[in-house]
Amino acid sequence: MTGCILAMNGDEAAAYAVKQCKPDVIAAYPITPQTIIVERLSEYVADGELDAEFIAVESEHSAMSACIGAAAAGARTYTATASQGLALMYEMLFVASSFRLPIVMSIANRALNSPLNIWNDMSDTMGARDCGWIQIYNENAQEVYDLTIQAFKIAEDHGVLLPVMVCHDGFVISHSTEGIETLRDEDVDSFLPERDPVYPLDVDHPVTMGCVGVPEYYPEIKFQQEVATQKSITKIKEIFKEFNEAFGRNYDILEPYQMDDAEIALLAIGSASGTAKVAVDLLRKKGVNIGLVKMRLFRPLPVKELQELLGSLKAVGVVDRHISFGAIGGALNMEVRAALYELRSKPHVMGFPTGLGGRDIRVEHFIKMAETLLKVAEQDSLEEDYKVAGCRGKGCIEP
């Protein structure tokens, strides 16, 4: 049920998956390190390999605006961006989700200014976590390919109808070439049926979108959106399972590694998960009962699944690739703490923001994180809520 193995970087894998999903409209603006995606898609359209309307807009704000109009009219719609581009379209992100439009957007995660930095961290998408979009994170280019295809089916499912961000680390994944096990076009067609819009804009059957939400109605509208977002976890799991069974993959919203007898664990997201696995293996050889949980789905937050995997541990180290300034490390750390708070025997949760602005996250960093967690488990106390790793400064884990 698979096609051939192609050498592609993460951006090219995203573009190839999008081509096979046959969007009707692509509206995008180039920005490093996402540019390769829209370059490839524009080539596919120009060469006649993809029958789509490619709109070269003047900004990312315009890109999302065009996607909103196209998706509202019933088109399968796609865009891609990163960093400052995502920040520029921030206003329209809320419109897309509140309209319940199944737009798919690739994000090549990149640090936000200032100082100017084109390298990877997750300050862009973590800053957009409350915009009402589903957020999926990838460890490698193969996952970018597979999860982009699944993202269209998730977004367009009538039990979901929400936009989806498919996130991969800038340069680390976007510009690194791998052998990608692709699917045949006909098999993607079979997995992903044509879009069946529920309430498309139609001059013969007019509807109103985006009217004034007066206080008498606004809370109920937002509550319905929240209920739909929470319920989408069930559909996401079903679609992952369907993809796994059809194509021999093994996707789930959380991926446990060496967790069967773990007493402490790291929780990571994105490409750093692969490095963390190496550290876990090394520590296991030294007799440390440590595991790893890789998070693929961040929005909606899989609270019950986190409780099941982490609830019996002594300590958990949450690896964020950004800092939520003035809070407790990063957003992921805060949300894992909140998810585990109600458990009677809740583990100590400590945050480790790292990899800021593209700085390398090395195996020794994860080993030092684990050593810190072991002390926390032995002392049964948490002296610090978080410790920045791979950073020079008092109280940091030095690079």
- C-alpha–C-alpha distance, residues 2 and 14, integer Å: 17
The secondary structure of residue 194, as a DSSP letter, is P
Q: Which residue has the tokens 């957003």?
A: 331
* pLDDT tens digits, one per residue of 118-166: 999 999 999 999 999 999 999 999 999 999 999 999 999 999 999 999 9
Percent of the chain exceeding pLDDT 70 equals 99
Three-class SS state of 271: coil
CA dihedral 56, 58, 64, 66 (to 10 degrees): -60
What is the DSSP code string of 85-115? Answer: HHHHTHHHHHHHHHTT---EEEEEE-PPSSS
- Compute the C-alpha angle 386/387/392, nearest 5°: 155
Question: What single-letter DSSP state applies at residue 356?
Answer: G
**For residue 1, is pLDDT > 60?**
no
- The span from the CA of 325 to the CA of 323, in Å, is 6
How is the beta sheet containing 164-169 ordered, strand by strand? 53-56, 25-28, 77-81, 104-109, 164-169, 134-137, 297-299
**What are 168-184's pLDDT values in tens digits?**
999 999 999 999 999 99
Which pair of tokens denotes residue 64? 């999302």
- The vertex-138 CA angle with 351 and 392, nearest 5°, equals 35
Tell me which residue of 87, 273, 57, 271 sits closest to 175, measured CA to CA: 271
The predicted structure's pLDDT at residue 184: 96
Global confidence as pTM:
0.97
Mean of the per-residue pLDDT values for the chain?
Answer: 97
Position 380 scores a pLDDT of 85
User: What is the per-residue pLDDT for 372?
Assistant: 96
Residues 6+ apart with CB under 8 A from 190: 246
Query: Quick one: DSSP state of residue 358?
Result: G
Q: What's the rounded Cα separation, in Å, for the pair 396 and 253?
A: 31
Q: What tens digit of pLDDT does each residue of 226-263 get?
A: 999 999 999 999 999 999 999 999 999 999 999 999 99
pLDDT tens for 42-88 read 999 999 999 999 999 999 999 999 999 999 999 999 999 999 999 99
**Distance between CA 147 and CA 239 in Å, rounded?**
10
Maximum separation of any 2 CA atoms in the chain, in Å: 70
The whole-number pLDDT of residue 263 equals: 97
Instruction: Please give the single-letter amino acid code of residue 386.
Output: Y
End-to-end CA distance of the chain: 45
| H helices present in 192-330, as ranges | 218-247, 272-285, 303-310
Q: Which of the four pLDDT bands, split at 50, 70 and 90, describes residue 225?
A: very high
Mean pLDDT of 311-330: 97
Q: Mapping DSSP to helix (H, G, I), strand (E, B) and coil, where does residue 261 land? A: coil
In the predicted structure, residue 2 carries a pLDDT above the cut 90 = no
Residue 189 pLDDT grade (very low, low, confident, very high; cuts 50, 70, 90): very high
Say whether pLDDT at 355 is over 90: yes
Query: Which domains, from first to last, does the chain contain?
Result: 2-247 (3.40.50.970), 254-379 (3.40.50.920)
Strands 264-269 and 77-81, sheet pairing: unpaired
